[in-house]
Structure 1
């Protein structure tokens, strides 16, 4: 079980607001995260992943405490077993497509990398650097790099915004398969309310 009870002040164009989340999520589920632009969805991801600390609150995963402001417990991002796919991809500019994906693996597995290169239609681009790729191609690399980490939790920030419908379907199917087969919990930010309609175990609307 994943328990998130946090409160954090955010600064928006319409003034200061509080991001408040008090929810429990089953491990191995897919959670669709939505809300207006600037409401704090990306900040929420940064708090879960340990990039920033909330003003107050508690985050636990299967009774392991990641953050507890009362006891001043705060695990570093490296110790959280959480993969984060940024909205702007954050690929290493001097690494090839394949090297970007390989770098993220904790335990090297060439078969998984080759599988992702093939199904995401990146095989012929595996030796290219990110600057030679389109936005959609970079997005596919970023998702592949996230999936190969085989983390307990994966946070995907608008993972399909730059790809065409056919590739969007392939990417979604791979996420669902990973959730089912590997027990990975996915939090997916998407403005498409029906993005995971057939698969989402829970919807989290941030207001």
Structure 2
């Protein structure tokens, strides 16, 4: 069970707002995170991953407390076993595609990296710098790297925005397979709500 309680002031172009989330989500869920633009969905991901400390927060993953502001408990990002895919991909320009994907692994396994390269049609680019790839190719690398971490919680911020329909289906099927086989909990922000309605097991609407 994942317990999340967050209250955090955010500053937007339309004024100050409070991001408020109070949810209990079963492990292995596929969570579609919805809400208007600028409402705080990306900030929510940053709080979950440990990149932002909220004004008030309590996050518990099974018996492990990741955050408890009332008792001054804060697990740093590297100890949360949460992987986050940013909208800007955050790839390392000084590494090859293969090195970028492998970097995410705590326990190195080249077979898994090679498998992800094949599944996302990146094998021919494995020794290429990400800066020489198209936006869609970079997005595939970023998703492959996120999955390579094999984290308990996976946070994806608009993971398919730059790829074509055919590759979108490939990537989506891979996410669903990973979710099923690893019991990882997925949180996905996407404006393509219809794409996720048929298989999401939980909808978290931020208002």
TM-score normalised by structure 2 residue count: 0.98
Match of 2:204 in 1: 204
Match of 2:55 in 1: 55
Q: Deviations over 1:105-125 (max 9, x none)?
A: 111212211111111111111
Gaps of 5+ in 1: none
User: What is the Cα deviation at residue 194 of structure 1?
Assistant: 1.5
Match of 1:45 in 2: 45
> Which deviates further from its counterpart, 86-95 or 189-198?
189-198
User: What is the Cα deviation at residue 64 of structure 1?
Assistant: 1.2
Match of 2:159 in 1: 159
Match of 1:32 in 2: 32
Aligned length: 207
Match of 2:182 in 1: 182
Match of 1:130 in 2: 130
User: What is the Cα deviation at residue 63 of structure 1?
Assistant: 2.5
Matched, 1:21 2:52: no
Question: Partners in 1 of 2:102 and 2:133 — Cα distance?
Answer: 18
Q: Deviations over 1:103-156 (max 9, x none)?
A: 111112122111111111111111110110000000000000000100100100
Gaps of 5+ in 2: none
TM-score normalised by structure 1 residue count: 0.98
